A and B are shown apart, each in its own frame.
Chain A
Amino acid sequence: MSAYDNVLAARSTKKLTSLDYINALFGDSFIELHGDRNFADDKAVVGGVGMLNDIPVTVIGLEKGRNTKERMERNFGAAHPEGYRKALRLMKQAEKFHRPILCFVDTSGAFCGIGAEERGQGHAIATNLMEMMALKTPILSVFIGEGGSGGAIALAVADEVWMMENAVYSVISPEGCASILWKDSSKAAEAAECLKMTAKDLFNLGVIERILREPTAGDQKMFESMKLLICRTFEKNLAVSGEELARLRYNRFRKIGQQ
């Protein structure tokens, strides 16, 4: 599969969304919590609390929607500042109760629009990056589809970052890259190759820790093994002090591109 085929697979509307994963992993225990306590409830971000086996967990996901109506409602998973602020509010709450945080990332990017700029899209993302780096509770981010630039990393300053085998994660979309560099967005396939954005590329670059086999809808056995893997990671990290976790997290990013 070429890098661009991988991009198209990551964008496929048939792909499982964050809510699919949340329902499969958390079942009835999931309670959704809404709003950023400041402006609105951004439906492109779902968040809440639930039980992962016997561990209470805060779970947050960028949600694209599962049909046309939902996709419209959820702005195709492109969050506004209030979405990122809701995510941070829930993360701070998790820190208070020393609950681990599980993030699902699936977005083409943070929304580009008038309202988003007026309400400080850059500021919202920057604040998440800064605060997540110092959270004194375990964080795990799983890329399940598209990982579009700043809008993705705003939920991915984590102790470990995992990716589904067909997920992608990039500084810019291949179309955007091709149109800026070669003034020709049809060269997206070439750009996708150059950007090194597939799970395998990112693993080789030391940016992610694990590549996961992608479960299919209804394959509860695969979800169970995924749940086990997540629980083990949380158990391991819950045994580490909050200060040490934050220190390790900073070092994880500190060494990327170190001169």
Chain B
Amino acid sequence: MDLFTFIKPKNELEQGDDTTVNKPYVPDEMWVKCPDCGTLLLTTDIEENFHVCSKCNHHFRVGSRKRIDMVCDKDTFKELDADFVSKNIIDFPGYDEKLESSKRRSGEKDSVVCGTCKIDGIETVIISMTADFMMGSMGTVTGDKITRAFEYATENGLPVIAFTVSGGARMQEGILSLMQMAKTSGAVKLHSDAGLLYITVLTDPTSGGVTASFAMEGDIILAEPGALIAFAGPRVIEQTIRQKLPKDFQTAEFLQEKGFVDKVIDRRYLKETLSKLLKIHNYTEVQ
């Protein structure tokens, strides 16, 4: 506190210079502004509406745990490999700090949460990525957890549902993260050869090494409305070809039109759709 503030009369100090004090007070966390239509939405309303804007249908990004809550039957989620933690294996400058801040921000140890759960009573393995942890990038821990989740599903004859959100392979782990593309693909292949179902749900954004590996390897590929789904991100393409891209390029709808997504699906009908698909593939309720 400087001297001026110290000698300032107390009533003035409380009033401060902030001109907003006379406006009605609304805590930040009570309202969210929809980035698409600009509507102010009550946080509680959004939560009830699966984090979808009630006016324009914009799908907000959600973290991995919330995602699991949205589709799993209550209290059925059991996490696998919860204690795996990323390390700075190739001694990349600044990576330790980045890991620390990501852990703090997301409350997670890595960019993916894997486990088993039930959807309408049907047991399944679930893989859920989060953008809050280094933009969902895939490092060795991410790759290993996903691989092990597939191996667990193969051993136990379970289907796999994967929610993807990722900027791609994590460059701070160099070539070792690139190798995770091959590793996860190998695990998907073994699961597939065992005749088991794999559904991917691509969410905003899914790109790079994740798009070019397990995200695009599902038997059925679903995607959330408006999600950016790309191999190379739009900025990289614009720089390469030196021209502006059309507005809806690389959206979920665009990919469906081009034949790379089975169905764009509203989050509010997601659980219902997953449940139907599981039943169509002869998976049944377990007690």
Interface residues of A (CB under 8 A from B): 110, 112-114, 116-123, 125-127, 129-131, 133-134, 149-150, 153-154, 156-157, 169-172, 177, 180-181, 194-197, 201-202, 205, 207, 249-250, 253-254, 256-259
Q: From the candidates A126, A127, A156, A197, name the one contacting B174 in the complex (CB within 8 A).
A: A197
Q: From the candidates A118, A121, A258, name the one contacting B232 in the complex (CB within 8 A).
A: A121
Q: Which A residues are CB-close (under 8 A) to B77?
A: none
B185 to chain A: closest CB distance in Å?
4
Whether the pair A150, B185 counts as a contact (CB closer than 8 A) is no
Q: Which A residues are CB-close (under 8 A) to B64?
A: none
Instruction: List the B residue with the shortest CB-CB distance to A157.
Output: B182
Instruction: List the B residue with the shortest CB-CB distance to A180.
Output: B171
Whether the pair A207, B179 counts as a contact (CB closer than 8 A) is yes
Whether the pair B90, A205 counts as a contact (CB closer than 8 A) is yes
Q: Which B residues are CB-close (under 8 A) to A149?
A: 169, 178, 209
A84 to chain B: closest CB distance in Å?
10
B205 at the A interface (CB under 8 A): no
Q: From the candidates B139, B170, B181, name the one contacting A150 in the complex (CB within 8 A).
A: B181
Whether the pair B171, A121 counts as a contact (CB closer than 8 A) is no
Q: From the candidates A129, A131, A207, name the one contacting B176 in the complex (CB within 8 A).
A: A207
Whether the pair B175, A117 counts as a contact (CB closer than 8 A) is no
Whether the pair A129, B175 counts as a contact (CB closer than 8 A) is no
A170 to B260: give the CA distance in the assembly, Å. Answer: 27
Q: Which A residues are CB-close (under 8 A) to B24?
A: none
Task: Given A129-B213, A256-B176, check contact A121 B231 (CB 8 Å).
Answer: yes
Q: From the candidates A123, A207, A259, name the one contacting B144 in the complex (CB within 8 A).
A: A259
B140 at the A interface (CB under 8 A): yes
Whether the pair B231, A116 counts as a contact (CB closer than 8 A) is yes
Whether the pair A112, B232 counts as a contact (CB closer than 8 A) is yes
B130 at the A interface (CB under 8 A): no
The 20 listed contacts between A and B (C-beta, < 8 Å) are: A110-B231, A113-B240, A117-B232, A120-B216, A122-B215, A125-B213, A125-B231, A126-B217, A130-B186, A131-B189, A133-B186, A134-B190, A150-B181, A154-B212, A180-B171, A196-B174, A207-B175, A256-B180, A257-B180, A259-B145
Task: Given A126-B185, A126-B215, A257-B183, check contact A112 B94 (CB 8 Å).
Answer: no
Interface residues of B (CB under 8 A from A): 81, 84, 89-90, 92-94, 139-141, 143-145, 147, 169-171, 173-183, 185-186, 188-190, 192-193, 208-209, 211-217, 229-232, 236-237, 240-241, 245, 249-250, 258-260
A122 to B229: give the CA distance in the assembly, Å. Answer: 9
Q: Which B residues are CB-close (under 8 A) to A170?
A: 174-175, 178
Task: Given A150-B181, A257-B144, check contact A196 B230 (CB 8 Å).
Answer: no
Whether the pair B211, A126 counts as a contact (CB closer than 8 A) is yes
Q: Which A residues are CB-close (under 8 A) to B145?
A: 259
Max count, chain A CB within 10 A of own CB: residue among B140, B232, B237, B249: B232
The 4 closest A-B pairs by CB, nearest first: A257-B140, A122-B211, A112-B232, A129-B185
Whether the pair B236, A172 counts as a contact (CB closer than 8 A) is no
Q: Which B residues are CB-close (under 8 A) to A169?
A: 175
Given contacts A112-B241, A150-B209, 8 further A-B contacts (CB under 8 A): A116-B232, A123-B260, A125-B181, A126-B216, A134-B186, A149-B178, A171-B177, A205-B90
Whether the pair B182, A253 counts as a contact (CB closer than 8 A) is yes
Whether the pair A253, B250 counts as a contact (CB closer than 8 A) is no
A134 to B232: give the CA distance in the assembly, Å. Answer: 27
Task: Given A113-B241, A114-B245, check contact A127 B217 (CB 8 Å).
Answer: yes
Q: Which A residues are CB-close (under 8 A) to B139?
A: 257
